[in-house]
Structure 1
Amino acid sequence: MELHLALDGRQDLAGQLYRQLRAAILDGRLAAGDRLPSMRFLAERLAVSRKTVGEAYERLVAEGFLQARVGSGTYVSSQLAPVEHPPMPTAALQANPRWRAIAAGWRMPAHRPARYSFAGGTPDKRRFPFDAWRTCLQRALRLQARSPAFYAEALGNPELRLAISRYLAINRAVRCHWQDILVSQGAQQAIDLLARVMLTPGDLAVVEEPGYPPARLAFEAAGARVLGVPVDREGLRVDCLPEQAKLVYVTPSHQFPLGQPMSLPRRLALLEWARRRQALIIEDDYDGEYRFDGRPLESLQSLDREGRVAYIGTFSKTLFPELRLGYLLMPAALRGELTVAKQLADQHSESLQQLALAHFIGSGAFAQHTRRLQREYARRRQLLLRRLAGDLAPWLEALPAVAGIHLAARLRQPLDCTRLCAQLAERGVLLLDLAPFYAEGPGMPGLLFGFGAIEAQDIDPALDILHELLRQH
């Protein structure tokens, strides 16, 4: 093991070494059962004689701190009780007040393990083809081993950017060139980069109400004033947009969290508003790959003729969240600034996963995987809708949604959603309350049903528990 030891001068070297090793054991840095470096190795490392190290070890063995095992080495005594560390004293440090307010206002629900999980925005990792992914990673490792050791391109691996641009053009009808793609650490980093580049303290940013809390907080972190504009059955109320807003963040394919798509007239009206106000639109297409009813509507980006839409997406909803890869289709006017912002943030996204994902998409494995999930999610969605229109109908009404991997349901009767969700959690059911997604006052009472993480055969048993609790309420 590597252990930090620093000897001062040449006096009492064995004593210094003894005291430092003893302190490391008492502090818990060396735990019971840990193997210490050999006397020869430690002597060479500290430029002292083996006799000096031997004296320190022998003293610690005699006092019961160490055990010498013939032919094996020297170990921290297994008889020592685990060390309990007192809490570190709180330093008198003051964070930026803006960040203190953001930390205090963080309301994004935590995804806790549960027997029946209706967690929103979580895909089915159990159906991900890890064997095919392993092959892609092995290929990426071979490529990296042959490449020179240096930082990669800030905007991302060209092969992956090309694969993303082709995918967006074919599957999402998005007009783009691969050189306009920035590979980000998930969609959240893309939002953060746009906030840094576009906003100065005091600017006004608009988000949907209800909406995605981390987007609002990213704009607040940049110093912006943030206003929530209500949504209705056609999406964002464009007629409620303030004149002086500098950017608008929307989820037009599958409004988060309510689920409705933005109508074509609203999309055109939003583009016209942005043209008149010289504003930026951030279009977050976070799970639009999965569509179940009706004809797909054109993206805002595909309707944009002036370069006012920044289109972002993520692979967290199609592959698995830990991958942390997303993309940003940059407006031409912001490309230079966004490139520098990305370099300052993290130089570039992790390159091994980028190489693997490029091959995963190019080989057709990505399209095959999403087609399989589309069929499975459609089955789960129908099971959920059947129950919401059946025995759960006296209490809940499913809101219209044609895409994505979650549904929202409005409460028909006055109930304490917070208490209901807590009781469900006690019974092993994770279900989210809509309240945390409203930032500017009480909103529509309801529940969010994610169907990406729950198996089809578990939906009815979980909803039976919900039905039982609703009857009690």
Structure 2
Amino acid sequence: MELHISLEGTRDLGGQLYRQLAEAIRAGRLADGQQLPPSRLLASQLGLSRKTVSDVYDKLGYEQLLVGRVGVGSFVQAPHASPQRRHASTRLASGERLARWNATPRPLVQGPRSAFARYAFIGGRATPALFPHDEWRRCVQHALRQDRQERGNYGPVEGLAVLRAAIARHAAFSRGIHCTPDQVLVTNGAQQALALLAQTLLEPGDTVAVEEPGYPMARQLFASLGMRVVGIEVDEDGMMVDQIPDGTKLIYATPAHQFPLGMPMSMACRHALLERARNLGAIIIEDDYDSAFRYEGRPTDALQSMDRYGIVAHVGSFSKTMLPELRMGYVVLPEALVQAVQTVKYLTDWHTPTLGQLALAKFIDDGHLLRHIRRCHDVYAGRRERLQHWFNGPLAPWFRLVPATAGFHVAALAQAPLDIDLLLRRARQADVGLQSIAPFYHGTPRHQGLYLGYGAIETLDIDAALAIVHGILREMAPPA
């Protein structure tokens, strides 16, 4: 790669070269220790004499911005203190919009693992130790061999055919999804699927109905695109369908495991939701984020399997079943939406990286995904049992668990008014990481309580953590 130097005219060429190199070194654009081209090569590239370049190198060396190594070359020696970066003072026409983005909170952003408490009930995160790394490594190696045949070409917008077929089979087997591979669109996680659907279906000012409480990133996404976002309360059956206003064009719901409270949507509510959406001409986004883990009762198929009108877009993610850093998800689209959503994805990022797609297809087809889900299911079931023991026993005077049959998080609602923020602070001081359900409400929270993820905490640590919480609660609010 050539060093970028731009010389103008024919005067003071050596001075121009010196100033550009010195500025690049002081600004950090040329990194400390980076080797510069030999003087003969740079002179040839710039059309200068070798002596001119050598003199510039000597001057930079005198100022201790370059260091020469005999027989090796010239290397950048960055100054100890870098000057302050110059900031543009121009008033930007988009300043107000930038300010709104800068003020937008990021409620579910998680820091590095080192920042977590020792006992952390983190939502949406699995235990990396449970992941079959050896099997995944072999799938990646297989993908590298396969990818060699198509290297240098862009992939299909909708995703590789081998992965879409694997997803269609897996979704049919595990969730009762009715679709062809042509209806499957591979995405960079579930969040991209939500964005693509919103961009495809809505104009600024259109009405979107979301659950309240609900997934804050979905609400923020829709609002950021200029939509009118209406929160629909949930009860023990799920979304209260009669609150969905006329004119709604998009409905976002989590039927299998309501986020964050955890209860499943009843069959009566599912039928009512489908009828309401049909009457409105609205599309339902079914976010099926962690329903692969089911612990009791008869399996409930996805809402999409009940759809007779072509109005449910089923969004799935491999972040919960595998690893979040893979950023792999998908959406099963109603046939009427397929071409339009593909076009929006094409304009957004063209396609999802093909290497990961090939590896994931192999991982699914070889049965590794189902075996991994079963292995995690057994571990999560044990952790869920320990949570139930504590909240149905020692912690029952303060909290009650919301019944949940799937996923790997639960919500515990306060039985009486309680200073949840104080509880969180005191628990954190004792190295226990808890989270309130309050941030999942857009308006005033109807309930106080805790959101407890158990995917990333070891089973034996749950007893130690909740024993600490029990002691804090006895001091804060002694039971009658």
**Pairwise same-fold verdict (TM > 0.5):** yes
Deviation at 1:426, TM superposition (A): 4.1
What residue identity is the alignment partner of 1:104? A
The alignment's TM-score, normalised by the length of structure 1, stands at 0.94
**Partner in structure 1 of residue 109 of structure 2:** 110
Alignment counterpart, residue 166 of structure 1, candidates 161, 164, 169: 169
**Partner in structure 1 of residue 212 of structure 2:** 209
Structural mapping, 1:47-446, within 5 Å: 47-77=47-77, 80-83=79-82, 85-86=84-85, 88-89=87-88, 91-95=90-94, 101=100, 104-112=103-111, 113=113, 114=116, 115-147=118-150, 149-446=152-449
* CA offset digits 1:366-387 (Å, max 9, x no partner): 1111111111111111122212
Deviation at 1:257, TM superposition (A): 0.2
1:215 & 1:95 partners in 2: Cα distance? Answer: 24
The alignment's TM-score, normalised by the length of structure 2, stands at 0.92
What residue identity is the alignment partner of 2:72? S
1:40 & 1:418 partners in 2: Cα distance? Answer: 67
Give the stretch that moved more between structures: 99-108 or 180-189: 99-108
- 2:386 is paired with a residue of what secondary structure? helix
Deviation at 1:99, TM superposition (A): 7.4
**Partner in structure 1 of residue 469 of structure 2:** 466
Deviation at 1:252, TM superposition (A): 0.4
Deviation at 1:272, TM superposition (A): 1.6
Q: Could you tell me whether the CA contact under 8 Å between 1:98 and 1:223 is conserved in 2?
A: no
Q: Could you tell me whether the CA contact under 8 Å between 1:406 and 1:450 is conserved in 2?
A: yes
Q: Could you tell me whether the CA contact under 8 Å between 1:28 and 1:82 is conserved in 2?
A: no
Q: Could you tell me whether the CA contact under 8 Å between 1:424 and 1:431 is conserved in 2?
A: yes
Q: Could you tell me whether the CA contact under 8 Å between 1:102 and 1:217 is conserved in 2?
A: no
1:294 & 1:471 partners in 2: Cα distance? Answer: 35
**Partner in structure 2 of residue 11 of structure 1:** 11
Deviation at 1:346, TM superposition (A): 1.0
Q: Could you tell me whether the CA contact under 8 Å between 1:212 and 1:256 is conserved in 2?
A: yes
Query: After TM superposition, what 4+ stretches of structure 1 lie above 4 angstroms from structure 2?
Result: 96-103
1:435 & 1:94 partners in 2: Cα distance? Answer: 36
* CA offset digits 1:73-108 (Å, max 9, x no partner): 323347x31425346345422548677556534352
Change (3 A) 1:430 1:43: farther
Deviation at 1:169, TM superposition (A): 0.8
The alignment yields a C-alpha RMSD, in angstroms, of: 2.2
1:280 & 1:220 partners in 2: Cα distance? Answer: 17
Q: Could you tell me whether the CA contact under 8 Å between 1:199 and 1:223 is conserved in 2?
A: no
**Partner in structure 2 of residue 453 of structure 1:** 456
Deviation at 1:175, TM superposition (A): 0.9
Change (3 A) 1:25 1:400: same
Change (3 A) 1:96 1:298: farther
What residue identity is the alignment partner of 1:378? A
2:47 & 2:181 partners in 1: Cα distance? Answer: 56
Change (3 A) 1:107 1:394: farther
2:124 & 2:237 partners in 1: Cα distance? Answer: 22
Change (3 A) 1:136 1:45: farther
What residue identity is the alignment partner of 2:346? Q
Q: Could you tell me whether the CA contact under 8 Å between 1:310 and 1:329 is conserved in 2?
A: yes
Change (3 A) 1:303 1:100: farther
Q: Could you tell me whether the CA contact under 8 Å between 2:424 and 2:435 is conserved in 1?
A: yes
1:166 & 1:97 partners in 2: Cα distance? Answer: 47
Q: Could you tell me whether the CA contact under 8 Å between 2:143 and 2:355 is conserved in 1?
A: yes
Q: Could you tell me whether the CA contact under 8 Å between 2:7 and 2:17 is conserved in 1?
A: yes
**Partner in structure 1 of residue 21 of structure 2:** 21
What fraction of aligned residue pairs are identical, expressed as a percent?
47
Q: Could you tell me whether the CA contact under 8 Å between 1:107 and 1:436 is conserved in 2?
A: no
Number of corresponding residues: 472
1:59 & 1:234 partners in 2: Cα distance? Answer: 77
Q: Could you tell me whether the CA contact under 8 Å between 1:109 and 1:436 is conserved in 2?
A: no
- Are 2:43 and 1:40 equivalent residues in the alignment? no
Q: Could you tell me whether the CA contact under 8 Å between 1:180 and 1:331 is conserved in 2?
A: yes
- 1:168 is paired with a residue of what secondary structure? helix
1:272 & 1:63 partners in 2: Cα distance? Answer: 76
2:381 & 2:28 partners in 1: Cα distance? Answer: 52
Give the stretch that moved more between structures: 209-218 or 93-102: 93-102
What residue identity is the alignment partner of 2:16? Q
2:280 & 2:84 partners in 1: Cα distance? Answer: 57
Deviation at 1:241, TM superposition (A): 2.0
2:180 & 2:155 partners in 1: Cα distance? Answer: 20
2:13 & 2:100 partners in 1: Cα distance? Answer: 51
Deviation at 1:464, TM superposition (A): 3.1
Q: Could you tell me whether the CA contact under 8 Å between 1:98 and 1:221 is conserved in 2?
A: no
1:98 & 1:470 partners in 2: Cα distance? Answer: 44
1:17 & 1:310 partners in 2: Cα distance? Answer: 58
- 1:294 is paired with a residue of what secondary structure? coil
1:91 & 1:255 partners in 2: Cα distance? Answer: 47
1:184 & 1:136 partners in 2: Cα distance? Answer: 19
